[in-house]
Chains A and B, each alone.
Chain A
C-alpha cells in the first residue's frame, strides 16, 4: 500500500508569510507525528496526534506553529509569520497506534523542505 505522503515536497516563502504543510498518513494509522530536521541535525519532535486530538504538543517551538488533524487522517502543520530560522525539512510519520503494543513503528514520509527567504 501507499506510504506516508507529504505535500508540497518543496516550499519557498518569504519572511513573514503563512505556510501550510500537509501530511497524508498510511491508511488506518491512528497516530501521526510531525518532526523538524534542520541541516546537519537529527529530526526533532514537534507534535503527536492520536486520532483527532493532539496527545503531545510539547515540541512546538512557539505559538506561530499549529497543527490540526480534524478527521483523524490528514494533518496540516501551519506556520504563521515565518522566520528564516524556520527553514528546515518537516517530516511526518504515522503508526498504527495500538495501545497494547510494546512499540508501534513510525513510518516516515519524504518530508517537505521549507525555505524562508
Chain B
C-alpha cells in the first residue's frame, strides 16, 4: 500500500536558518504529493502541493519539488521565521484515486525556530 516516510524530529533552528525537511514515499504510479502544516492551537492546513513529476509546489516561502526518480518531496525554506514554528506533515493521494480520495500522511515533524 501507499506510505510516507518523514525524517525524525524534532528540528530546532535559529531564525533565518535554511530549512530542509525530508519526505519520501512509496506508491504505485504517480501519486499527488502535499505538505500540510499545523500551527499551535490550529487545525491542519494545506501548505503546498504537486500533482505530477518535476512539479514544484510553493507557498509562504516554502518550496518542494516532486522527484519521481528518488520518490521524494522534500520541503525547503531559505530563511525560517519564528512564526514558522509548527508541525509539518507530508502526505500523498494515490495515483488511481479520484480527486476526492483519502490522504496518506507521514508521522509529522515538529519545527521550532528560535529568535
Contacts and interface: CB of A to CB of B under 8 A. Distances in A.
Nearest to B108: A42
B99 A108 contact: no
Contacts of B100: 31, 48, 50, 55, 95, 97, 104
B113 interface: no
Interface of A: 3-4, 31, 33, 35, 40-45, 48, 50, 55-56, 59, 91, 93, 95, 97-99, 101-111
B45 interface: yes
A47 to B, nearest CB: 9
27 contacts: A3-B43, A4-B43, A31-B100, A35-B103, A35-B105, A40-B107, A42-B4, A43-B103, A43-B105, A44-B105, A48-B101, A55-B100, A56-B102, A59-B102, A91-B43, A97-B100, A98-B99, A101-B99, A102-B32, A103-B32, A103-B51, A103-B93, A104-B100, A106-B103, A108-B45, A110-B42, A110-B43
